[in-house]
Structure 1
């Protein structure tokens, strides 16, 4: 009988497991005294114990059910606190649960090979029979992007405004989810879900048709969830926020306000979206060649202003990038994008038009690999080649972590001879989030007893809490917390942060699937990226205890084998020497032999 052994060694601080199944993935592992000696100051991969990344404690597979709390409202953030993105908030009262938003988050630089991150919904799946619905505040990815992955596990009705629902349908269709149970809700509408009474109010943001919600419990207490917002007094394609309605909530009495904290560090007021339209007008007026504009595909108001300037300066508009095409089609069909007939042309037709009559709207504002702008900049787009005389406008701010990709793209555009307008050179991008004075205005209108800042890094939440204190909120009633925490409010309006904690880690999505990548795999990827991998394959006759063939060695990212044949030869000889020595002393003790071989070869390298 022939028994194959696989030894995976990670560079100079190697660790490995030799699986009994040679096809199974090889995963580094440490256990107490088995830890190899350190060399060169480098640390080995350390295996984590959590099923998802970021939890404060392991939950394994046991059900997560909180103790019953009659007539208590619980607020449980599963995403969006202490981070930018993957917004998801749980509201629970007696036997009823509602969820607000279901977003994704872009991965950090340390999350190698990860496409994006979604919330851990173990608490919801373990309490699925109590879930009454998912409310979506607006159509941005950090609020709805997780639905194709999460909704099939929950299967409940979703509630969204016209545009938000339209964008969700397109997204779900891409995942072969036809006719999802989407219910349309509108500004001013009231909705009963279990014991919750909900009322929706308009918010201004960088996408139209956004909604905030007022949540009323059976004991008459009111809780306000703003969603993303800013006070825009000259909004594009929609009316202003109803400040009078917000003031009425405040007059009635609000137990707790949950408010957007993204711009809590930004002084003053956020600029109106219409300022970007004025900038587009100036750019379009002065450009002599083609104009290429990239932005987030979900910034419908921004896209409307691109069309407005194109029409004003007699240019036709073509679109490149699937998400941009889908969102524009949906917004036009629902009446949220208005453009004269004949303005939009197919991309393959623009070659017949003079350069000064062409505008191209495309994806790629974050330097995403394979996006339309990145392919244009690299000369790899099938239909569009950037050339001297083109003006490229990047109408977006970099998401942290994307800067290098964006600047590499800008460099390539300059190399092709384009004029590139980006950054803070002119007002080509404004935030969709309220700055400090607007946040104080919201607090002043709502006048909450308690305040729980949401949607932001931890420093944003802290800064927002201090803003609340500056306008009269008592310091012990500004509740600064993070994902997985549980806040409780009793029927007398008294609130507190409890010691309960539910799973709230990261579920990582990559090409392999959902949740297949965890702490160990991520750390392996980081180690391989930094140090490389060294694999020894040893084939042994199990009965005789002899090596059948010379050890096979595979190296990736550690040494170039053709240039270091001496090291490869020495490694093979060392493997055979160590194996023969161990097999004489401990015959057939394969686990010990494997472990010792890993350690000794690691030290040799």
Structure 2
């Protein structure tokens, strides 16, 4: 089950009656999920999500999948299937629709409602929707789609079966197999078995939790823990969770009602998403439980519950601002209880612990996954995945959604159940299903697309490297004026530093060396401003590195006067 393909080139033409599968995101990291299917010259996309930036992406707001390899073929896209309403599966859709606004969008009621509010923010109103539910079938060009109910940490999630002349593909989307879900909607293994009878040629399986042994605990297991937190708390309770976790919010609302507390939402996305879930009937709000956040302050602390965003320590989220005591109207008090009802997404640990420490400093009791069972994963663990492989008995398996270690762990599980052909792919790798066999056929360019303010795709890895250097080492600017007649330095060097420990006086010792180097370069005939700037950069760069062991960004300016 090798996954090393260093020699991969551009894929050749697709074999007649072959199906081509290209992941544009989600294979190698947890987020920006997007998979392209090509058959008979037509395209189908499943999911179009974002990845949230980490510390090594300074200034970046969002990271999108890279669909540049099909930019000139977007008119061949029959539709975009959205498996569920999480940001890492729908968040990049507005950016795709900017390039072709009439791509038909296919998803469940809640998924499309959450997407609609996002599209309105992007001023994209005239979109084409196909609302589907489990059991529905839909034909788009050469693709026959069938939708299957799956259980996840957001209601209304769907797996999708894709039939073409090349065979039957089953894509799970994100899923788990909670047998006692809060909404009673379980993953439909009978539908999986029915598809197995037909013969699943390629099985794309969620890998996020493949390394976790056994079974993912049921959501219901959390209810008594939440109840206990409410029973023991003497003052205000603040619950932080994902703005899309309808089931978790339902549990908190029920506990608040039982303990005669009132609830307010804090955070724009939480207010918006829960209003949508309530309007559509996915969230049942007990009577006289929900109030506006500003009204809550008039109640005694023992009757207050806030449900907030910011469970991942996001710096601008409501919870982070509460922890720093700079929220508009929520001020943490000694004896308050904060419940972090979510998992830690890899890479966010430091940010989350920073928030926990901030809250604890003001005297709050913080209940989190590390000290209580207040969250369960939304993804199938190894035991559930084994069940799926035995039920579906696929001919080929391609693990999706996860870091490399998750994909490999998932592939190992598939092999253990007797699947002979497991394809471990990464973003941009092209996998062809021809005559019932899936294999890697090549690779297309597929990097990160960074959103920075209003600019999309203009920021490169090189720009981020510059930002990291500026953030860690600061910069030094050097301005020199050269007399265009005599070729001698007539003014400067004037040297300034920012973001480091240098004082302007520190540079006196290097100024003569810069002048000497410029005189030599001009005497040798190097009068081009760019070459002279490089000379300045080399001299001061060597000096800073050897004398001070620093590597700041150096910005030389040579002016001819």
Q: TM-score, normalised to structure 2's length? A: 0.92
State the Cα distance separating 1:109 from its structure 2 match.
3.0
In the alignment, what sits opposite 1:319? Answer: 265
In the alignment, what sits opposite 1:602? Answer: 541
In the alignment, what sits opposite 1:550? Answer: 492
CA distance in 1, matches of 2:378, 2:529: 61
Match of 1:174 among 121, 136, 143: 121
Secondary structure at the aligned position of 1:352 is classed as coil
Structure 1: runs of 5+ lacking an equivalent: 1-54
In the alignment, what sits opposite 1:391? Answer: 337
Q: What whole-Å deviation, never above 9, does each CA across 1:172-215 have from its counterpart, x for those lacking one?
A: 22222224323211111111111010000110000000000111
Q: What whole-Å deviation, never above 9, does each CA across 1:21-73 have from its counterpart, x for those lacking one?
A: xxxxxxxxxxxxxxxxxxxxxxxxxxxxxxxxxx98999xxxx8852432111
CA spacing shift, 1:375–1:473, aligned 2, 3 Å: same
Match of 2:275 among 329, 332, 354: 329
Match of 2:425 among 481, 484, 487: 481
> Does the aligned pair in 2 maintain the 1:318–1:346 contact within 8 Å?
yes
State the Cα distance separating 1:345 from its structure 2 match.
0.5
In the alignment, what sits opposite 1:216? Answer: 163
Instruction: Please say if 1:267 is aligned against 2:213.
Output: yes
> Does the aligned pair in 1 maintain the 2:14–2:20 contact within 8 Å?
no
In the alignment, what sits opposite 2:558? Answer: none
Instruction: Please say if 1:284 is aligned against 2:230.
Output: yes
Q: Which has the higher contact order (CA 8 A, sep 6+)?
A: 1
> Does the aligned pair in 1 maintain the 2:11–2:430 contact within 8 Å?
no
CA distance in 2, matches of 1:277, 1:123: 47
Match of 2:437 among 467, 476, 494: 494
Secondary structure at the aligned position of 2:358 is classed as helix
In the alignment, what sits opposite 2:110? Answer: 163
Instruction: Please say if 1:131 is aligned against 2:77.
Output: yes
CA distance in 1, matches of 2:522, 2:99: 51
CA distance in 2, matches of 1:521, 1:433: 35
In the alignment, what sits opposite 2:250? Answer: 304
> Does the aligned pair in 2 maintain the 1:107–1:116 contact within 8 Å?
yes
In the alignment, what sits opposite 1:592? Answer: 531
Secondary structure at the aligned position of 1:381 is classed as coil
CA distance in 2, matches of 1:254, 1:117: 33
State the Cα distance separating 1:559 from its structure 2 match.
2.9
Q: What whole-Å deviation, never above 9, does each CA across 1:385-443 have from its counterpart, x for those lacking one?
A: 00012110011122122111111111111111111101231110000000111001111
CA distance in 2, matches of 1:543, 1:276: 80
CA distance in 1, matches of 2:204, 2:493: 62
Instruction: Please say if 1:420 is aligned against 2:363.
Output: no
Secondary structure at the aligned position of 2:160 is classed as strand
CA spacing shift, 1:581–1:356, aligned 2, 3 Å: same
> Does the aligned pair in 1 maintain the 2:230–2:255 contact within 8 Å?
yes
State the Cα distance separating 1:250 from its structure 2 match.
0.8
CA spacing shift, 1:587–1:440, aligned 2, 3 Å: closer
> Does the aligned pair in 1 maintain the 2:225–2:374 contact within 8 Å?
yes
Instruction: Please say if 1:463 is aligned against 2:463.
Output: no
In the alignment, what sits opposite 1:233? Answer: 179
State the Cα distance separating 1:90 from its structure 2 match.
0.7
> Does the aligned pair in 2 maintain the 1:295–1:364 contact within 8 Å?
yes
Secondary structure at the aligned position of 2:307 is classed as strand
Instruction: Please say if 1:203 is aligned against 2:150.
Output: yes
Secondary structure at the aligned position of 2:338 is classed as strand
> Does the aligned pair in 2 maintain the 1:294–1:373 contact within 8 Å?
yes
State the Cα distance separating 1:473 from its structure 2 match.
1.0
In the alignment, what sits opposite 2:43? Answer: 97
Q: What whole-Å deviation, never above 9, does each CA across 1:557-584 have from its counterpart, x for those lacking one?
A: 33332xxx43222343433333233323
> Does the aligned pair in 1 maintain the 2:48–2:93 contact within 8 Å?
yes
CA distance in 2, matches of 1:273, 1:587: 72
Match of 2:138 among 173, 183, 191: 191
CA distance in 1, matches of 2:188, 2:47: 22
Q: How does 1:491-530 map to 2 (within 5 A)?
A: 492-498=435-441, 500-511=442-453, 513-530=455-472
> Does the aligned pair in 1 maintain the 2:253–2:286 contact within 8 Å?
no
State the Cα distance separating 1:100 from its structure 2 match.
0.3
585-594 or 111-120, which moves further after superposition? Answer: 585-594
State the Cα distance separating 1:285 from its structure 2 match.
1.7
In the alignment, what sits opposite 1:114? Answer: 60
Q: What whole-Å deviation, never above 9, does each CA across 1:103-146 have from its counterpart, x for those lacking one?
A: 11122332222223111111221221211111000011111111
Structure 2: runs of 5+ lacking an equivalent: 545-561
State the Cα distance separating 1:238 from its structure 2 match.
4.2
In the alignment, what sits opposite 1:10? Answer: none
Aligned residues: 539
173-182 or 539-548, which moves further after superposition? Answer: 539-548
The two structures, once aligned, show a CA RMSD in angstroms of 2.0
Secondary structure at the aligned position of 2:457 is classed as strand
CA distance in 2, matches of 1:466, 1:148: 36
CA distance in 2, matches of 1:69, 1:84: 31
> Does the aligned pair in 2 maintain the 1:125–1:154 contact within 8 Å?
no
Secondary structure at the aligned position of 2:414 is classed as helix
In the alignment, what sits opposite 2:93? Answer: 147
CA distance in 2, matches of 1:516, 1:218: 40
CA spacing shift, 1:541–1:417, aligned 2, 3 Å: same
389-398 or 531-540, which moves further after superposition? Answer: 531-540
CA distance in 1, matches of 2:111, 2:484: 63
In the alignment, what sits opposite 1:35? Answer: none
Instruction: Please say if 1:243 is aligned against 2:189.
Output: yes
573-582 or 226-235, which moves further after superposition? Answer: 573-582
State the Cα distance separating 1:243 from its structure 2 match.
1.8
CA distance in 1, matches of 2:269, 2:361: 27
